[in-house]
């Protein structure tokens, strides 16, 4: 039952810190119209993770909305990982914003876990340059260490918001088990009940070491199960967003198993019998063990794959394309041996011999897409390093290697059965093929060139679906916003079906005249001055109007003087030609869409 003693350094609200947003301003990062992270100021206003954009804005109208950009987050995290490299060469990046390393060697060198953790906190803090808070936790195993790091997050005591805040456990002050933690840490969380969720203020007279002590939680060796016991089971879903885990947590809660201690107290065999592999994992984590039994030994050398890049690549896209092939190759080989990779070393070498290596860890197992993502993140951080010109490679990249560091038996993922029937295609194969082709296109045209549709709420045909850029590796991920069910109800006042086949952005200028050749106007009461007789689109030829309907007035965002729009829409069918959706706004006509 040996568990690796691990240190986790965690930067709270990393997506916002990476975007350079001050944490005392309300801001949220959205992906597919849902909040993935929000600043403490926004949390105080009631913004939560998984909220829809409208709900978040309704709670906090001045909310600054940012797009989710994992690559930029990883790039910004590179200096943090680099700062910790003076402690140990084996920094594992769990995801941008959190990294971990085993403490066994470094702890002895620096004089104990507490000293090491404080040193790590000082290093990360100086790398962050006051941009955001950092927390460090040391415990047996990465799961407990991660919780120790997060648990210390200051939250306004009267308001429990968001899943992240639930990490605190019961709304009362520190639960009994916390007493086993280092005294200074739990004492601090009590002494600052009113600090809200602001980043921790630096005590003006305090030394760097005293500040660092405030940022650190060390769970003594062997005390992890007691530390974990009062924590609610929902943290399992927060740590690992996999569908199975979320469903498992839901069932556990309904069964009355609400804390990790209660889960750990259940007999392992019964949990596995009921919940299978996901239950085994959860039970091990709750008991303070690693998610899997420890690997029997280091990965054999022959798994390491490397590729020579010729000519040397200066752009990340070109390397990402190579990485994709390498990742596919590695995955195929591992799958053939019934194995999967959970920790991976990604390395690259420039033409002048500089090398860059990072260890990446994942909670599940690495898919080829996930590997290619990590390569892209790491190399973007290295090549476009933030202001660390000395650390950047001086030439193009010539070699890339992937070395699996921890190999486990594959979880036995059930692939979809090949679809039957003529013309049906294997969905996984088709998706992989498309992702590879898009990686190539992104290498040619840049990352922004590839866009996928996403449903949004809206009235106009161009507002109901938005195009968002996508990394080639994400294109086959499940994207719920690309399904029509994402917007359950039509908005009142929307343009009725069928939708136009061409939507013009920006709208094309148009002229609409009546039978006498005078411009048609729409009054404030929504009446046309004369029936339209002819339209001219974008300076083209005159087309006679065969039939028309409208005007349908539309008064949007009247509460906001800057984005307020008042317009009227008219449908027009021309003789023999296309039908148009015309918009008149401030007396000016334009073609919003063409029914081509």
Binding mask 339-358 for another protein (x = CB under 8 A): xx------------------
Helices 427-445 and 316-336: crossing angle, nearest 10°? 160
Kindly report each contact of residues 480-486 with a partner whose C-beta sits within 8 Å and lies 24 or more positions away, as own/partner: 480/32, 481/32, 481/33, 481/454, 481/455, 482/452, 482/453, 482/454, 482/455, 483/455, 484/455, 486/32, 486/33, 486/454, 486/455
Interaction with another protein in 388-427: which residues (CB under 8 A)? 409-419, 421-427
Q: For another protein, which residue of 201, 448, 489, 562 counts as binding (CB under 8 A)?
A: 448
Q: For another protein, which residue of 66, 87, 291, 450 counts as binding (CB under 8 A)?
A: 450
Spatial separation of the C-alpha atoms in residues 376 and 531, rounded to whole Å: 58
Region class of 49: left (phi > 0), else alpha (psi between -120 and 50), else beta: beta
Beta bridge partners of 331: none
Site size toward another protein, by CB under 8 A: 96
Is 501 one of the binding residues for another protein (CB under 8 A)? yes
Is 233 one of the binding residues for another protein (CB under 8 A)? no
CB atoms closer than 10 angstroms to residue 272: 15
Q: For another protein, which residue of 297, 311, 576, 587 counts as binding (CB under 8 A)?
A: 576
Q: Which stretch binds another protein (CB under 8 A): 47-55, 63-71, 244-252, 374-382?
A: 244-252
Interaction with another protein in 502-531: which residues (CB under 8 A)? 502-505, 528, 531
The nearest distance, CB 209 to another protein, in angstroms, is: 46
The nearest distance, CB 409 to another protein, in angstroms, is: 4
At 561, phi and psi to the nearest 5? Answer: -60, -25
When the beta carbons of 251 and 386 are compared against another protein, the nearer one is: 251
When the beta carbons of 192 and 479 are compared against another protein, the nearer one is: 479
Q: For another protein, which residue of 14, 77, 275, 382 counts as binding (CB under 8 A)?
A: 275
Q: Which stretch binds another protein (CB under 8 A): 9-17, 172-180, 210-218, 541-549?
A: 541-549
Is 364 one of the binding residues for another protein (CB under 8 A)? no
The nearest distance, CB 445 to another protein, in angstroms, is: 6
Q: For another protein, which residue of 227, 382, 455, 589 counts as binding (CB under 8 A)?
A: 455
Is 586 one of the binding residues for another protein (CB under 8 A)? no
Is 151 one of the binding residues for another protein (CB under 8 A)? no
Is 386 one of the binding residues for another protein (CB under 8 A)? no
Interaction with another protein in 468-497: which residues (CB under 8 A)? 470, 475, 479, 482-484, 496-497
Residue corresponding to tokens 């691990």 = 6
Residue corresponding to tokens 């059965």 = 417
The nearest distance, CB 380 to another protein, in angstroms, is: 21
Is 268 one of the binding residues for another protein (CB under 8 A)? no
Task: Give yes or no for a contact between 47 and 354, defined as CB atoms under 8 angstroms apart.
Answer: no
- Residue among 84, 75, 29, 82 at smallest CA distance from 53: 29
CB atoms closer than 10 angstroms to residue 356: 21
Q: For another protein, which residue of 160, 308, 445, 515 counts as binding (CB under 8 A)?
A: 445
Is 227 one of the binding residues for another protein (CB under 8 A)? no
Spatial separation of the C-alpha atoms in residues 268 and 279, rounded to whole Å: 9
Task: Give yes or no for a contact between 232 and 169, defined as CB atoms under 8 angstroms apart.
Answer: yes
Q: For another protein, which residue of 438, 520, 537, 582 counts as binding (CB under 8 A)?
A: 438
Lookup: tokens for 516: 């006498």
At 101, phi and psi to the nearest 5? Answer: -150, 150
Is 278 one of the binding residues for another protein (CB under 8 A)? yes
Binding mask 318-337 for another protein (x = CB under 8 A): --------------x--xxx
The nearest distance, CB 274 to another protein, in angstroms, is: 7
Is 452 one of the binding residues for another protein (CB under 8 A)? yes
H/E stretch holding 186: helix 183-191
CB within 8 A of 188, min separation 6: which ones?
Answer: 214
Region class of 11: left (phi > 0), else alpha (psi between -120 and 50), else beta: beta
């Amino acid at each position: 039952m040996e568990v690796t003693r691990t240190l986790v350094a965690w930067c709270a609200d990393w997506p916002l810190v990476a975007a350079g947003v001050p944490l005392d301003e309300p801001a949220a990062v959205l992906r597919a119209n849902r909040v993935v992270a929000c600043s403490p100021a926004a949390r105080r206003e009631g913004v939560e993770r998984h909220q829809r954009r409208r709900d978040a804005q309704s709670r906090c109208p001045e909310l600054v909305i940012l797009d989710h950009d994992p690559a930029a987050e990883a790039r910004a995290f590179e200096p943090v990982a680099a700062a910790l490299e003076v402690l140990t060469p084996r920094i594992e990046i769990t995801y941008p914003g959190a990294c971990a390393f085993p403490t066994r060697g470094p702890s002895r060198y620096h004089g104990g876990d507490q000293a090491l953790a404080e040193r790590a906190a000082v290093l990360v803090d100086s790398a962050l340059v006051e941009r955001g808070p950092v927390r460090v936790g040391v415990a047996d195993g990465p799961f407990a260490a991660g919780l120790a790091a997060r648990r210390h997050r200051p939250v306004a005591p009267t308001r429990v918001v968001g899943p992240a805040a639930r990490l605190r456990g019961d709304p009362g002050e520190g639960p009994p088990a916390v007493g086993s933690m280092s005294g200074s840490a739990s004492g601090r969380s009590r002494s600052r009940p009113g600090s809200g969720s602001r980043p921790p203020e630096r005590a003006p007279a305090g030394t760097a070491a005293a500040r660092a002590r405030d940022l650190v939680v060390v769970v003594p060796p062997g005390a992890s199960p007691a530390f974990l016991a009062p924590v609610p089971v929902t943290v399992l879903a927060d740590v690992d967003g996999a569908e199975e885990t979320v469903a498992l947590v839901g069932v556990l809660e309904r069964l009355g198993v609400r804390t990790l201690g209660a889960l750990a107290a259940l007999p392992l065999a019964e949990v596995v019998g009921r919940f299978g592999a996901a239950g085994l994992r959860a039970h091990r984590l709750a008991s303070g063990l690693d998610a899997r039994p420890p690997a029997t030994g280091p990965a054999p050398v022959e798994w390491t794959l490397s590729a020579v890049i010729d000519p040397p690549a200066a752009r990340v896209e070109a390397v990402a394309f190579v990485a994709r092939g390498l990742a596919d190759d590695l995955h195929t080989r591992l799958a053939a041996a019934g194995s999967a990779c959970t920790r991976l070393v990604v390395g690259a070498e420039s033409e002048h011999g500089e090398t860059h290596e990072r260890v990446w860890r994942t909670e599940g197992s690495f898919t080829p897409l996930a590997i290619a993502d990590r390569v892209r993140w790491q190399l973007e951080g290295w090549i476009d390093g933030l202001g660390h010109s000395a650390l950047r490679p001086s030439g193009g990249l010539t070699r890339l290697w992937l070395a699996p560091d921890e190999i486990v038996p594959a979880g036995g993922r059930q692939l979809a059965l090949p679809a039957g029937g003529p013309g049906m295609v294997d969905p996984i194969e088709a998706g992989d093929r498309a992702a590879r082709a898009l990686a190539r296109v992104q290498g040619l045209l840049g990352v922004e060139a590839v866009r996928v549709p996403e449903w949004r709420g809206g009235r106009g045909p161009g507002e109901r679906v938005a195009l968002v850029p996508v990394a080639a590796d994400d294109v086959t991920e499940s994207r719920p916003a690309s399904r029509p069910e994402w917007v359950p109800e039509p908005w009142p006042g929307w343009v009725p079906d069928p939708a136009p086949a061409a939507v013009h952005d920006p709208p094309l200028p148009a002229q609409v005249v009546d039978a006498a050749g005078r411009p048609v106007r729409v009054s404030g009461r929504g009446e046309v001055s004369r029936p339209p007789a002819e339209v001219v689109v974008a300076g083209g030829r005159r087309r006679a109007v065969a039939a028309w309907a409208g005007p349908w007035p539309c008064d949007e965002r009247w509460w906001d003087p800057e984005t307020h729009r008042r317009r009227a829409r008219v449908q027009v069918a021309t003789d023999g030609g296309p039908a148009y959706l015309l918009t008149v706004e401030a007396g000016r006509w334009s073609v919003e869409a063409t029914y081509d």
